[in-house]
Each structure stands twice: as structure tokens, then as C-alpha cells.
């Protein structure tokens, strides 16, 4: 389901450059706005020549409720989504703010997986609620830390018409400028973590996940 790394300069005598794969994950929420926000961010990311971008709508993954511990072979829907997540070098999670937090269906999607998140950077695009998505991001960061992902500090919070007004000096809106910063820092982390994963395994035992039927303590 996920293609291999895309090379640059193939057949030209130049060394092939691996492009990082970014998965934009659309969480729960009002479907039209969530999808629009995800596609907007993905379009900005596709302007970069160092990224391959996939948009994954978690509502279409049809994940069942995650058990507390592995109970046997994971369902087909989990295996299919695992392929997309495993192939990614970095993630952007698009989420609404709901009751000072984020939707339970997004937590369920996170809980299904372990190795797929491990040692990969995660950024956020959030919206809605009293905090314009900020409270959702604050709640998500420790969740991703628990699965050994790296949640970067910066996020894009879509908070009103003032932030979409174009700056005459740069021709960009505040949202676009923030998205550019988030992408640059996300790529920095993705390159560093990807290189180190190829150099040395992540130390210590793995946290078991329902999608993983390997014995505890094994590494990928």
C-alpha cells in the first residue's frame, strides 16, 4: 500500500536522495472541515521537494475498539492501517478540540499501534473549542510520548479570520507561515531520527500494542 522511497536524480549520474514520507492523519471531527484542513496542510507540504505526502482519513480505517493488551492476530483493518503508518517517517495529526481534549476515536487509533509510532516525529493541526485546538494538542503530546514518538513543540491552530488574512510583506497568511515553520522543524526531526534508526536500534523493551503479536521485548 505504501510505495518505496522516491529517488531524485535517477539516471542522471547523481546520487539518489531519499524523500521522507509524511502521513497526514485526519482524526475525528466535522468531516468536511477536518478533511479540508488536512488537504490544506498536505498541499503546503507537497510544495517541498524533500517530502512524499499521504493523506489518511482515520474515519475510513474502520478500526474496532483497541483491547488493553494483544489478544491474537489483529483485525484486517488494523493491518492495513499499520502498513501506511509503518511506511511513514513523520506524522501530522489533524484534530478538533473537544471538551478541552481530543476525540476518543483518535485515542483509539493511537492505542492500536506501537512500533509504527516509535522514534518518529509528530506535529499537529488543530481547531475548534475554547482553545482553538490548543487544548487538544496539549493532551495529545503526552499520549504520543508514551508510545515513544517525538511530539514537536510547534503546532498549527486554526483560530479565526484574522489568522487567514494575507500579510502584504510575505504574501502568506499567519496560518501558512506557521505551517511552514512546523514543516521545517518536522523535517529536521524526521531526518535526524530516520538516520539514527538506521544506525542503532532504540534501546530497551518495547511497549506491547494490540497490533503487535510479537513477544514482548522484541524490536522490529
Q: Other C-beta atoms within 10 Å of 104: how many?
A: 11
Beta bridge partners of 126: 95, 157
CA separation for the pair 176, 145 (Å, rounded): 27
Q: What is the pLDDT of residues 57-115, one digit of tens each?
A: 999 999 999 987 777 789 999 999 999 999 999 999 999 999 999 999 999 999 999 99
CA separation for the pair 204, 217 (Å, rounded): 8
Q: Minimum mean pLDDT among 24-28, 67-71, 177-181, 216-220: which range? A: 216-220
Q: Tell me the pLDDT of the chain averaged across its residues.
A: 84
- Residue 51: how many CA atoms within 13 Å on its side-chain side? 25
| Domain residue extents for the chain | 20-160+174-198
102 touches 20 (CB < 8 A): no
For 178-207, what is the mean pLDDT?
A: 91
Please state the pTM of the whole predicted model.
0.84
The residue that leads in pLDDT, 16 or 219, is 16
The residue that leads in pLDDT, 219 or 17, is 17
pLDDT for res 202: 87
Q: Other C-beta atoms within 10 Å of 124: how many?
A: 27
25 touches 3 (CB < 8 A): no
Question: Does 1 have pLDDT greater than 50?
Answer: no
Q: What is the pLDDT of residues 10-53, one digit of tens each?
A: 343 444 568 999 999 998 766 678 899 999 999 999 999 999 99
Q: What angle do CA 146, 132, 110 make, to 5 degrees?
A: 25
Cell numbers found for residue 117: 509510532
CA separation for the pair 217, 131 (Å, rounded): 39
pLDDT for res 219: 39
pLDDT for res 18: 80
Q: How far from chain centre, in Å, is Cα 99?
A: 22
Residue 19 — φ and ψ, nearest 5°? -90, 135
pLDDT for res 212: 72
- Residue 72: how many CA atoms within 13 Å on its side-chain side? 2
Question: Does 7 have pLDDT greater than 50?
Answer: no
pLDDT for res 65: 92
The CATH superfamily label for domain 20-160+174-198 reads Flavodoxin domain (3.40.50.360)
Question: Does 124 have pLDDT greater than 60?
Answer: yes
The percentage of the chain sitting over the pLDDT mark of 90, rounded to a whole number, equals 63
Q: What is the dihedral of CA 142, 144, 150, 153, to 10 degrees?
A: -50
Between the alpha carbon of residue 10 and those of residues 15, 17, 87, 137, 147, the distances in Å are: 7, 9, 21, 40, 36
Q: What is the pLDDT of residues 139-164, one digit of tens each?
A: 999 999 999 999 999 999 998 655 55
Amino acid at each position: 500500500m505504501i510505495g518505496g522511497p522516491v529517488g531524485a536524480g535517477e539516471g542522471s549520474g547523481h546520487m539518489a536522495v531519499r524523500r521522507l514520507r509524511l502521513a497526514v492523519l485526519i482524526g475525528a471531527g466535522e468531516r468536511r472541515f477536518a478533511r479540508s484542513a488536512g488537504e490544506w496542510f498536505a498541499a503546503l507540504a507537497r510544495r517541498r521537494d524533500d517530502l512524499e505526502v499521504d493523506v489518511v482519513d482515520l474515519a475510513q480505517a474502520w478500526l474496532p475498539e483497541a483491547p488493553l493488551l494483544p489478544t491474537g492476530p489483529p483485525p484486517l483493518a488494523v493491518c492495513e492501517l499499520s502498513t501506511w503508518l509503518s511506511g511513514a517517517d513523520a506524522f501530522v495529526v489533524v484534530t478538533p478540540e473537544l471538551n478541552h481534549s481530543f476525540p476518543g476515536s483518535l485515542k483509539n487509533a493511537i492505542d492500536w499501534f506501537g512500533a509504527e509510532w516509535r522514534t518518529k516525529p509528530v506535529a499537529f493541526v488543530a481547531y475548534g473549542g475554547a482553545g482553538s485546538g490548543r487544548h487538544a494538542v496539549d493532551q495529545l503530546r503526552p499520549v504520543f510520548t508514551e508510545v515513544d514518538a517525538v511530539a514537536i513543540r510547534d503546532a498549527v491552530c486554526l483560530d479565526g479570520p484574522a489568522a487567514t488574512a494575507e500579510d502584504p510583506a510575505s504574501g502568506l497568511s499567519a496560518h501558512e507561515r506557521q505551517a511552514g515553520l512546523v514543516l521545517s522543524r518536522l523535517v529536521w526531526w524526521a531526518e535526524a531520527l530516520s538516520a539514527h534508526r538506521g544506525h542503532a536500534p532504540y534501546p530497551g523493551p518495547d511497549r506491547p500494542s494490540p497490533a503487535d503479536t510479537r513477544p514482548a521485548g522484541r524490536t522490529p
